[in-house]
């Protein structure tokens, strides 16, 4: 079936990509083009998803493809293509290999969907988002990464679990790079409008913050093969919905930050307003001294990562 405008292209039809397609369809958010380099796989998953439509009761459409030309007309391109780390592979090997994949994907996105907005999901997230913008040359407001929504959702769940309340009533903000030095901002966490710090002792909050930082690793350790995909897919769907519905919704995401938070032009996790144009505004929230220090440390780590990425790319070029 022919896709209708506006449609979302999802590059990489693996765990995160296919589940993102499922969320977008079943929540009625958009039609989806599912792309992968593996022949038949995106087509098979698309057909399977469409066969669920009569039961799920949605009227969205999805098609699968191995041809980049089919990206023409996509309003949003979600990039989940990448390799997971395998035994014996160093972090540098993974960085170089995923950088090659992102470069190849982004050159094709630039050629086929030059007006699209790009949501990067492939890890290491901040570095791959930086690279995607460099390769496409798209304005910064049209290239951003998914991480903060996921990290905040994890923190919200951990707080809800501790207080035995519905996760929907919990607000949390997680800023900074998507890695060990991310910054869970407990001073802004609330449950039904009340500061969480009034309900959970500091020592326990510190444990929740650490569990949030380790959220991805906790799932990897349990799954043994592969990494999280249900919550990442939900996070992408929330971002896509904010863009397509022009919600002007402030969500934590990996945006290009110049000026705010004392940063001088780096992709970093901050709250940002999402609308039909992409990232329309970086929102600066007040932070306490410890949080400011943690942000500076996290930003330094991202900058070091970018230097390492550029060195590896220069060597492999
Ligand atoms: N172009 C398009 N797709 C590609 C390419 C490429 N050059 N190279 C690999 N792929 C596809 C693979 O064929 C696979 O189907 O990317 C997909 C990745 O899927 P999974 O291995 O299931 O990985 P997934 O769990 O979805 O994670 C994808 O998201 O959260 C991040 O850290 C995670 O970087 C990883 C990414």
- Full-prediction pTM beyond 0.85? yes
**Helix (H/G/I), strand (E/B), else coil: 105:** helix
Give catalytic residue positions: 178
12 lines ligand 1 (CB under 6 A): yes
41-51: average pLDDT = 98
273-295: average pLDDT = 95
158-181: average pLDDT = 96
- 282 neighbors 253 (Cβ within 8 angstroms): no
**Helix (H/G/I), strand (E/B), else coil: 296:** helix
At 232-277, the pLDDT tens digits run 999 999 999 999 999 999 999 999 999 999 999 999 999 999 999 9
At residue 93, the pLDDT reads 81
Q: 118 exposed, middle or buried (CB, 10 Å; 0-12, 13-18, 19+)?
A: buried
At residue 213, the pLDDT reads 94
129 lines ligand 1 (CB under 6 A): no
Residue nearest to atom 36 of ligand 1 (CA): 122
At residue 317, the pLDDT reads 66
* CA 196/CA 192 separation, integer angstroms: 9
At 68-93, the pLDDT tens digits run 999 999 999 999 999 877 767 676 78
Residue to probe by mutation, ligand 1, list 20, 36, 230, most atoms within 8 Å of CB: 36
* CA 145/CA 156 separation, integer angstroms: 20
95 lines ligand 1 (CB under 6 A): no
CA of 198 to the centre of ligand 1 (A): 41
* CA 109/CA 103 separation, integer angstroms: 10
How far does Cα 314 stand from its chain's mean position? 26
- 13 neighbors 36 (Cβ within 8 angstroms): yes
At residue 180, the pLDDT reads 87
At residue 90, the pLDDT reads 73
% residues pLDDT > 70 (the chain): 98
84 lines ligand 1 (CB under 6 A): yes
Of the candidates 230, 202, 236, 35, the one whose C-alpha atom is nearest the C-alpha of residue 121 is 236
Q: 79 exposed, middle or buried (CB, 10 Å; 0-12, 13-18, 19+)?
A: buried
Residue nearest to atom 22 of ligand 1 (CA): 14
At residue 263, the pLDDT reads 93
- 179 neighbors 124 (Cβ within 8 angstroms): yes
In whole angstroms, how far apart are CA 273 and each of 48, 63, 90, 105, 239?
A: 35, 30, 36, 26, 10
Helix (H) or strand (E) holding 48: helix 41-56
**Ordered strands of the 7-11 beta sheet:** 62-65, 31-35, 7-11, 76-79, 117-120, 143-145, 249-258, 264-275, 278-282
% residues pLDDT > 90 (the chain): 91
147 lines ligand 1 (CB under 6 A): no
Average pLDDT, the chain: 95
Q: Identify the band that residue 15 occupies on the pLDDT scale cut at 50, 70 and 90.
A: very high
In whole angstroms, how far apart are CA 307 and each of 22, 30, 142, 269?
A: 36, 37, 23, 18
273: left (phi over 0), alpha (psi -120 to 50) or beta: beta
Token pair, residue 41, equals 């796989």
**Helix (H/G/I), strand (E/B), else coil: 206:** helix
């Amino acid at each position: 079936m022919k896709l209708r405008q506006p449609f979302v292209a999802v590059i990489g039809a693996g765990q995160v990509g296919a589940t993102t397609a499922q969320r977008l369809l079943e929540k009625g958010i958009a039609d989806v083009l599912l792309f992968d380099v593996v022949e038949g796989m995106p087509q098979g998953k698309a057909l399977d998803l469409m066969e669920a439509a009569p039961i799920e009761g949605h009227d969205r459409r999805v098609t699968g493809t191995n041809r980049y030309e089919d990206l023409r007309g996509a309003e949003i391109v979600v990039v989940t293509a990448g390799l997971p780390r395998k035994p014996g592979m160093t972090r540098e090997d993974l960085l170089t290999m995923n950088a090659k994949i992102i470069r190849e994907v982004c050159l094709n996105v630039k050629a086929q969907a030059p007006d699209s907005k790009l949501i990067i999901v492939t890890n290491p997230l901040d570095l791959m988002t930086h690279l995607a913008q460099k390769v496409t040359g798209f304005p910064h407001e049209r290239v951003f990464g998914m991480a903060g929504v996921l990290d905040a959702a994890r923190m919200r769940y951990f707080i809800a679990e501790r207080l035995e309340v519905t996760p929907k009533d919990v607000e949390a903000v997680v800023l900074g790079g998507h890695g060990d030095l991310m910054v869970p901002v407990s001073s802004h966490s609330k449950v039904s409008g009340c500061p969480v710090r009034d309900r959970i002792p500091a020592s326990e909050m510190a444990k929740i913050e650490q569990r949030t930082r380790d959220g991805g690793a906790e799932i990897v350790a349990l799954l043994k093969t592969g990494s999280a995909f249900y919550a990442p897919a939900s996070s992408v769907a929330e971002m896509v919905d904010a863009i397509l519905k022009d919600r002007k919704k402030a969500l934590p995401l990996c945006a290009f930050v110049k000026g705010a938070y004392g940063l001088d032009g780096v992709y970093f996790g901050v709250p940002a307003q999402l609308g039909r144009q992409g990232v329309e505004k970086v929102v600066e929230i007040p932070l306490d001294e410890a949080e400011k220090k943690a942000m500076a440390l996290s930003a330094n780590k991202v900058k070091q990562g970018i230097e390492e990425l550029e060195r590896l790319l220069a060597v492999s070029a």
